Amino acid sequence: MQTTITHRGTSYQCDLSKPLDISIPLREGIENVNCFYAPLVEVWPVVAGDFVGSTAQGGLLNFMNIKLNPHGNGTHTECVGHIAKDKYTINQCLKQFNFVARLISVYPQKQSNGDRVILKEQLEQLISPEELRSCEALIVRTLPNDELKLNQNYSGANPAYLHHEACAYIVENNIEHLLIDLPSVDREEDGGQLLSHKAFWKYPEAIRKNATISELIFVNNGIKDGLFLLNIQIASFELDVSPSKPVLYELRKQYNM
């Protein structure tokens, strides 16, 4: 289904029948992605007297409980409530769901302490302020990129992260929504500094309550860097975070004949 998207004076063609899902499916058990030592996802049927909520166990229908940690078990979208002392919820902070987004790919740089970090100067080389300001969301795919990201256990592995100066560069150029295929924009163990989270949300000086970070996405190699329409789907949780399903649609600039 072809449609026209007009954003900041530029028109784009978009085919809504060709979605590109960049979320990681939530699976039960050890095959699921995991980080920060979160408990594994659990799914089990409701049992009440003779009722069993599982057709596999002889029940008439499936009626399941699920136990998960949104931050640690898969693709999720979070708001400033993740770090704020006051309560902010993703359901209250994320009020728009469609955004023009740019996808970039980057190799995190190895530092002298062994950390792998996405640096400000890398972003400056990959995407100009003008390109950033032409969109509302930035999607960062780290390289190398393979399907191990779909069930990786990152706990204790000191995965790559985004330098807080890189986050500040993104914010300075009006990006409201940041999506990344890492467990966190911050170092796994940083002594509680949370420098990148704070830089992105300008916390606590000038809180950007409508801005969001989505982590643990997966962008397969068949999706090329470029401009997309992004749709962020969440559950209406009154929490700082929700499991999410970001979906992309390729945008092509429309030229007037």
Residue 31: pLDDT above 90? no
Q: Mind listing the pLDDT tens digit for each residue in 56-93?
A: 999 999 999 999 999 999 999 999 999 999 999 999 99
Contacts of 14 by beta carbon, 8 Å cutoff, 6+ apart: 2, 3, 4, 5, 229, 249, 250, 251, 252
Residue whose pair of structure tokens reads 């008439």 in the numeric block:
60
- Please tell me the distance from the alpha carbon of residue 101 to that of residue 99, in angstroms, as a whole number: 6
Q: Which domains does the chain have, with CATH numbers?
A: 2-25+70-253 (3.50.30.50)
- Please tell me the distance from the alpha carbon of residue 92 to that of residue 234, in angstroms, as a whole number: 12
Residue 254: pLDDT above 80? no
- Percentage of the chain beyond pLDDT 90 is 92
- Percentage of the chain beyond pLDDT 70 is 99
Residue whose pair of structure tokens reads 């792998």 in the numeric block:
116
Stated pTM of the model: 0.96
Burial 225-240 (b: 16+ CB within 10 A, else e): eebbbbbbebeeeebb
- Please tell me the distance from the alpha carbon of residue 94 to that of residue 178, in angstroms, as a whole number: 13
Per-residue model confidence (pLDDT) at position 88: 98
Distance linking the first and last C-alpha atoms of the chain? 22
Q: Mind listing the pLDDT tens digit for each residue in 210-250?
A: 999 999 999 999 999 999 999 999 999 999 999 999 999 99
Residue 256: pLDDT above 70? no
Per-residue model confidence (pLDDT) at position 253: 83
Residue 257: pLDDT above 80? no
Beta pairing class for 98-106 and 137-142: parallel
Contact 214, 178 (CB under 8 A): yes
Per-residue model confidence (pLDDT) at position 10: 86
Per-residue model confidence (pLDDT) at position 6: 87
- Please tell me the distance from the alpha carbon of residue 100 to that of residue 27, in angstroms, as a whole number: 30
Q: In 3D, which of 244, 252, 247, 242 has the Cα closest to residue 90?
A: 242
